[in-house]
Structure 1
């Protein structure tokens, strides 16, 4: 016998409600996780996990990550600038607040924009961590407070930003930012590090016409800037992915300032790993030139794009890296500097090492035209302040002072760098 129409509609709606409720596992009030206990909150498919990841011995990051791949790649974190010691606890309190405390009970983190008290929490299969009220309305979500990563179906709203990590192993806020401003403009910026949320200079813009409303990361893999009507204004990253293969995806502003779209195949060969589908800008080494600040690499180093299209930071001859664990930390002069004593300029104790197509464009303090290459070298050798002479065919000569900034090595540079070094000059181990 056919069901009466109103009963059919009621049952159909009941099925919808039931299926909606089973799309995630409710985390109830009073639930907690403790750093070092290896306990997790999982999404229904187990694709994503929420919990503590150990970053250094005894120090933990409260984070979300891809749970089914060996790398356990982090997609979001709460306390990136203040790691939690072992024994710290994240709790959905009985009065409906999410809070991270250290072992003494001191607050380390809580959501910035939680609208009202929560009745439950959940990790979704999209990688979003949500707090919901008694009517299942979302009152806070990790998608609204991103760190350096976007996931498919996640949007970046006006006034929001991604801030790169400091290094590949140090998740604290770093030197680059991807922002959608309230004026509708979208751009990649350097930050006034260590004021990492204070913007310094733009190094990549997108054709937004000042109408940008949201950056939308679609399931198909495109990252688009849309206006208030949802119309696409610009492709931020445009290489869509094949639907024939199921894969994980993420867009991340990496520590080197490049916005990259990564893909991880779920069902292919055993040697699976993340591969880059698209990225911006094309060449970070030539894209960034800061009036203040070091540029992509640290002071006194220079940036060269590797075969993997990732930047390498290199110390010039006679210089050594400041921090061996961080190639972007910059370099120091590894020999005693030239004396400026009028009686002895030590000119005979210095010579030059030559680098092709290298320059530090904003470090010059004198510029000469229509001079020879030998004249250019000599004028630097005679000047105790001159660390590098740059020569361009046609007779341009620049004297450079330390610390050198915005260093780059690229065929487009088309200059010769003469690096002044001490002949058999011993080393200078004082950093």
Structure 2
């Protein structure tokens, strides 16, 4: 007994030190809102904190924010657990239950948020260096992570997927869900949408443009967008951008704002202020719903954005412009009792009751007067077609004034009105939707004196138990760690599988779907029912750290035409990579089965060129694939190509393009560039050459691996296909002689001829004559 009391007092000071900052929560432990200044979880690099954040009068939310030690109140929140239902400032806790579930309890009574997880293992909740709050078990199996449930912010490496969306806050001071969403729509296009109380509409990219005209593609199945720490954002709909400070690793965050814009903020460290390094919309009045119904937005560079009610209307709520304005008059159906007030350079998007492509003012006015529901009309000039168009309006929404807009809005008013838009302009207000204040507040409850004593006793006893558990757990973890030689913490951002998991998923590696120099690929079904391609590499000679570095490289790459890596296994001598499964198999299989028409072949060539251009020119380091061939180009359900198998890939330094650090010949006979045989410097042009051979194979249906000997019987590095095509090109109607007989005459001659010429340029023996992959993309896109 005496020893126990001594141990208690010995460990008591440690309990206060422990509560000041945690690196993880274990089962049975919790964070208290009443100790929010000291009770928080800290990431190992001390860049991020997770704890209670005050959002209003006696109102708190559990959140993650950038750690700023000199600031008492967090200013840069990146995630919230229960943004629409904050908890009381008394008796509220975030707890990791013994069942493995994380719960946020309001005032000790109501559960307002839960991770909905369960585990019998000794799980822990910890904050990673990238700002991801993760609940996992000792084997590294992730049960829950905050990256899967974003609020209004995306951090570098955090994917935006088909299952997630960013939702703006209500205002800068009110963190509850607002009206603006950043997500992939049903057409697989990433965009912004206003989702207000009464109406919703998309406004970016420009809604009147089809996806191709907006530079997007909806032919993808994965729907994923990622911002990296260098400042590059890319998504599967072909949308990408780089920040103004691209190329340097900085603290970054992408946020959808309460004003309807998406911005990327950067800073070098906590001593510097955040600055905008990219934004989606340059004009402040483009987002819909900014000023509400019957009002319009005006942007002045010196003073910023303002909202104005239409003449004859008054503001509904002086603290919330999103509710718009209401009329001070009533219209009748008698056309003789109406007049129209001219409001130049003001346009309203949507809710056109009638549209007349060619109309003068009198016809447009008459059209509106014939309709009792018409509240006015818009008369605008078309630069393209050189005439005026008429839009009659049933509602005035999404209004803005712009000097670029060559048109006028005519507001329908009673003839007896005395309203003037010039007088109204002088009454302009600076308030807008982001000025809304948090309206929720909690009443502080008076706790019973005896309850307080019992509560403090329970807390002290609980702290003692937690400390003992933590000490025992730390001893066990230390012993386990010392027994695992060669173990390395993988900061790859994707899952680590055990060998037994993957053996079970592949049914003992029974269904082989491909093989290469690096290893054999098997089909498997993971525990979450996803079909996967699992590559079992040949027996590893490299250490786990080196393997994880290479795996991390593949995991960081992101392109719609690049195979997606889901995880890896590094256990003992076993090295395995887990990829998404491609339904249509490889390009080689489809060419041999004659399942590809000319348009599919052209799109495969274009998609492959795009991803090689990405690898060669858009990554910080140049990545050479070194084994481009039909077996390594996989096709999804829509026959979109995805390049796979980086077993032979090599990083190249941008600043030394002619330096070759390859110690052996890499690639596959028939597809290899002459530099390999002639012992010349290896550059990205080896991939260009291999790409050209693949394209020739798609056009002709002839494999370069057949007949690879020249006249003298010596082995040739390019086979007979290139020479045969060049010979046919010198004659008339050459395309007809080389085209794959399976296509017959069913092809676009101009596109296929361009494809053949580009392929021949790519297989020039002199590497300096060959185009770059970005030039190949430009040439292939030049044909409509």
For the residue of structure 1 that corresponds to 2:46, the secondary structure is coil
Match of 1:122 among 115, 121, 126: 126
Which residue number corresponds to residue 416 of structure 1?
408
Structure 1 Cα separation of the partners of residues 159 and 43 of structure 2: 20
Structure 2 Cα separation of the partners of residues 166 and 358 of structure 1: 26
Structure 1 Cα separation of the partners of residues 146 and 184 of structure 2: 18
Match of 1:217 among 227, 232, 235: 227
Contact 2:377 2:392 in 1 (8 A): yes
For the residue of structure 2 that corresponds to 1:94, the secondary structure is coil
Unaligned runs of 5+ in 2: 1-21, 206-210, 382-386, 425-784
Structure 2 Cα separation of the partners of residues 186 and 117 of structure 1: 40
Cα deviation code 1:205-252 (max 9, x no counterpart): 6634522633222110211125xxxxxx734332263566x7421001
* 2:241 paired with 1:261: no
CA, structure 1 residues 36+328, in 2 after alignment: closer, same or farther (shift >3 Å)?
farther
Match of 2:343 among 342, 355, 359: 355
Match of 1:337 among 330, 341, 349: 330
For the residue of structure 1 that corresponds to 2:35, the secondary structure is coil
Matches within 5 A, 1:117-266: 119-180=123-184, 185-190=188-193, 192-193=195-196, 201=202, 203-204=204-205, 207-211=216-220, 213=222, 214-225=224-235, 234-239=238-243, 241=245, 247-266=250-269
Structure 1, 90-99 or 134-143: larger mean CA deviation: 134-143
Structure 1 Cα separation of the partners of residues 349 and 187 of structure 2: 31
Contact 1:115 1:140 in 2 (8 A): no
Deviation (angstroms), 1:395: 5.9
RMSD between superposed Cα atoms in Å: 3.9
Structure 1 Cα separation of the partners of residues 216 and 160 of structure 2: 17
Deviation (angstroms), 1:302: 2.2
Structure 1 Cα separation of the partners of residues 262 and 118 of structure 2: 28
Structure 2 Cα separation of the partners of residues 188 and 108 of structure 1: 30
Which residue number corresponds to residue 19 of structure 1?
none
Contact 1:75 1:149 in 2 (8 A): yes
CA, structure 1 residues 305+185, in 2 after alignment: closer, same or farther (shift >3 Å)?
farther
Q: How many residues align?
A: 376
Contact 1:359 1:417 in 2 (8 A): yes
Deviation (angstroms), 1:164: 2.2
RCO comparison, higher one (Cα < 8 Å, 6+):
1
The structure carrying a bigger strand percent of its residues is 1
Structure 1 Cα separation of the partners of residues 27 and 62 of structure 2: 18
Which residue number corresponds to residue 99 of structure 1?
103
Cα deviation code 1:247-269 (max 9, x no counterpart): 4210012223322111134276x
Which residue number corresponds to residue 388 of structure 1?
376
CA, structure 1 residues 178+118, in 2 after alignment: closer, same or farther (shift >3 Å)?
farther
Structure 1 Cα separation of the partners of residues 298 and 122 of structure 2: 49
Larger radius of gyration: 2
For the residue of structure 2 that corresponds to 1:125, the secondary structure is coil
Structure 1 Cα separation of the partners of residues 218 and 373 of structure 2: 46
Which residue number corresponds to residue 115 of structure 2?
111
Contact 2:292 2:324 in 1 (8 A): yes
Deviation (angstroms), 1:150: 0.8
Match of 2:25 among 15, 24, 27: 27
Structure 1, 205-214 or 99-108: larger mean CA deviation: 205-214
CA, structure 1 residues 105+287, in 2 after alignment: closer, same or farther (shift >3 Å)?
closer
Match of 1:326 among 320, 345, 353: 320
For the residue of structure 1 that corresponds to 2:85, the secondary structure is coil
Unaligned runs of 5+ in 1: 1-23, 227-232, 289-294
Match of 2:396 among 371, 388, 404: 404
Structure 1 Cα separation of the partners of residues 187 and 388 of structure 2: 45
Deviation (angstroms), 1:57: 0.8
CA, structure 1 residues 56+177, in 2 after alignment: closer, same or farther (shift >3 Å)?
same
When normalised by structure 1's length, the TM-score is: 0.73
Deviation (angstroms), 1:424: 6.4
Structure 1, 160-169 or 415-424: larger mean CA deviation: 415-424
Cα deviation code 1:392-425 (max 9, x no counterpart): 3666555434x41232322343112234563169
For the residue of structure 1 that corresponds to 2:147, the secondary structure is helix
For the residue of structure 2 that corresponds to 1:234, the secondary structure is coil
CA, structure 1 residues 313+254, in 2 after alignment: closer, same or farther (shift >3 Å)?
same
Contact 2:100 2:118 in 1 (8 A): no
CA, structure 1 residues 314+127, in 2 after alignment: closer, same or farther (shift >3 Å)?
farther
Structure 2 Cα separation of the partners of residues 332 and 174 of structure 1: 22
